Amino acid sequence: MSFTEPPHSERRLSGIDFIIRRAADLYPARLAIDDRLRGRRLSYGELYSRSIRLARALTRLGVGKGDPVAYAFFNEHASLEAVFACSMIGAVAVPINGRLQPTEVGPYLRKHSCAVMMTNAELAHLADPAVSSTIVLRDAQGQAPHHALDYEALLAAESEQPLPAVVRWEDPYMMAMTGGTTGSPKAAVWSHGGAMMDALSVALHMGVRRGACSVCLAPTYHAAGLGWGVMPVLWQGGYLIMPPSATFSAAFLQDELRRSAVDYLLVVPALIEPLHDVWDGEPLRAGNVCVTSAPTTPAQRAKLALMFPDSELIAGYGMTETFSMTVQSPAEFLEMSLAVGEPSAASRVRIVNDDGRPVPVGTVGHIVGRTQGMCFGYDLDEENTRSTFRRLTDDSENLEWVFTGDIGFLDEEGRLTIVDRAKDVIISGGENVASVEVEAVVAVHPLVRECAAFGLPDERWGERVTVAIVTRDPASDLRGIGCEVIAQCRKQLAGYKVPKEIVFLDALPRTPFGKVVKRRLQSAEFLQRFNAAQLRERERSG
């Protein structure tokens, strides 16, 4: 073949905003977003027009292709306008978890050189002084910080004339914040093409039909919320109902499922218990219900099946670095409640030993994966990029695979079961909590000699953050120390990272090499001794 593609061929110009460009061409008047939080309904034509105006406003502020632009929103229309506007000019979107503290967000914004940040009035406190331009969407009372740029005023001043396409399939699309064992969040860099391939894969496997209605529950700053919850629905010309509160309301969800014909619902395990608590016993209706972002217990799956007896229940497994990896069919949801399905159409999964060599079927080892949505690596973090994205030993393909940090096995049918987490990351309510980050805050207390943070099974949250503490003085007021540590954590950490339980020990269990053995803290024997100690403490207190 003699054809050679020109180096700057226009045929490969396509960013994630293609999804709404296409929809605005086909059905501009069709509803795209029903934002109950802000009381605004947007058609595809309006969503496209507003995204163009925002893109032009960012350009006027000096943002160009490849520049990182931070945004912090709830599940609201502006969170999607921010993503599509960045795509239109080739800027790299940097979503910020609104549950974090300014002390956590500031260093992240500075590290990744975010000169512009978009947010709402409720989260404007997260904007770091190093950010030169802060664009703020006013709250219901019309309030916003006096120094900020007004979001709606900026849009009103710009033209809705479409911008020239500048983004290629392989260009960076987003730097997604992900937690890890290092304690400081990493920025996983996704490509436009990878994100679009993943959205198509999810739409295929989750049965997201054309024109589907979905209630947007998972946060849009998360890989799952955006990649599994939002983009597949918009690609299929469906519409998103965004809840009227920034915090989850099980009562609202139950009512909405009765009121609206919901076709697709993405939930995280932490939402199952609250929904079951308010459930009135009448069947809830949603065409397909997908649960992802954290492991589910058999009891949680049984409750979901009880509440949604007529729905197709699907489990998915993935991570920020890979997007979706496996999907479990409805037929196996209850029958194989510890498994997470087989690799999706856009992914490959292998199990390898400590040397990076594949192991036989049924053998437990490290879970590694390759997906079409796989990120490039971590921005400005070569060490973690090298340790996570690696080539396998004696692999003739010579490809890089993502080492997930999980261990598990594949059965004869290619179905994956996760046995344990190799990393000391606690997954509480779908959020990753780095144990060392919690430990760093706890260790500052003057009476704490040493500590270890770990997760314990929790029916509602999946895992609850627990801290074991060894005090400097065994005669200390343990109850007082516990209260002070919790107060200290609340000041410096996001709410979901604050310990739910504190355990006081004489010494932490360690290996002969001095490493704390957290699995021993999570063992049944330890829990039995801890519960007995609690009972004795209550008897003394009574």
- In this predicted structure, which of 199-203, 350-354, 509-513 has the lowest mean pLDDT? 509-513
**Which pLDDT score is estimated for 515?**
61
The residue with greater pLDDT, 181 or 59, is: 59
Tens of pLDDT, residue by residue over 448-466, are 988 999 999 898 889 999 9
CA distance 419 to 393: 23
The H-or-E segment that residue 195 falls in is: helix 192-205
At CA 10, angle to CA 9 and CA 16, rounded to 5? 120
The H-or-E segment that residue 153 falls in is: helix 151-156
Mean pLDDT calculated for residue range 4-20 = 75
- In this predicted structure, which of 294-298, 369-373, 389-393 has the lowest mean pLDDT? 294-298
Is residue 10 over pLDDT 80? no
Buried b (16+ CB within 10 A) or exposed e, 350-359: bbbeeebebe
At CA 196, angle to CA 194 and CA 199, rounded to 5? 110
Cβ atoms of 347 and 372 within 8 Å: the answer is: yes
Is residue 512 over pLDDT 50? no
Tens of pLDDT, residue by residue over 106-132, are 999 999 999 999 999 999 999 999 899
Mean pLDDT calculated for residue range 6-19 = 76
Quickly tell me which residue has 């740029």 as its tokens.
149
* Lateral strand order in the sheet of 462-471: 448-458, 462-471, 501-504
Buried b (16+ CB within 10 A) or exposed e, 386-400: eebbeebeeeeeeeb
Tens of pLDDT, residue by residue over 298-354, are 778 999 999 999 999 999 999 999 999 999 999 999 999 878 999 999 999 999 999
pTM, rounded to two decimals: 0.84
CA distance between the termini of the chain = 86
Nearest to 199 by CA among 222, 231, 221: 231
Nearest to 217 by CA among 233, 197, 236, 205: 233
Is residue 182 over pLDDT 50? no
The proportion of the chain whose per-residue pLDDT surpasses 70, expressed as a percent, equals 92
Tens of pLDDT, residue by residue over 492-505, are 999 999 999 999 99
CA distance 87 to 128: 23
- What is residue 121's DSSP assignment? G
Paired residues of 457 in beta bridges: 463
Residue 513 CB-density burial (10 A; 0-12 exposed, 13-18 middle, 19+ buried):
exposed
Tens of pLDDT, residue by residue over 24-65, are 999 999 999 999 999 999 999 999 999 999 999 999 999 999
**Which pLDDT score is estimated for 125?**
95
Contacts with 431 (C-beta within 8 Å, 6 or more apart), sequence order: 97, 99, 179, 494, 496, 497
Is residue 403 over pLDDT 90? yes
Neighbours of 54 (CB within 10 A): 24
> pLDDT band for position 425 (50/70/90)?
confident
Nearest to 171 by CA among 96, 70, 64: 64
> pLDDT band for position 9 (50/70/90)?
low
**Which pLDDT score is estimated for 529?**
64
Domains and CATH numbers, the chain: 12-405 (3.40.50.12780), 425-541 (3.30.300.30)
Is residue 91 over pLDDT 90? yes
Q: SS3 sequence, 47-76?
A: HHHHHHHHHHHHHHCCCCCCCEEEEECCCC
Is residue 268 over pLDDT 70? yes
> pLDDT band for position 518 (50/70/90)?
confident
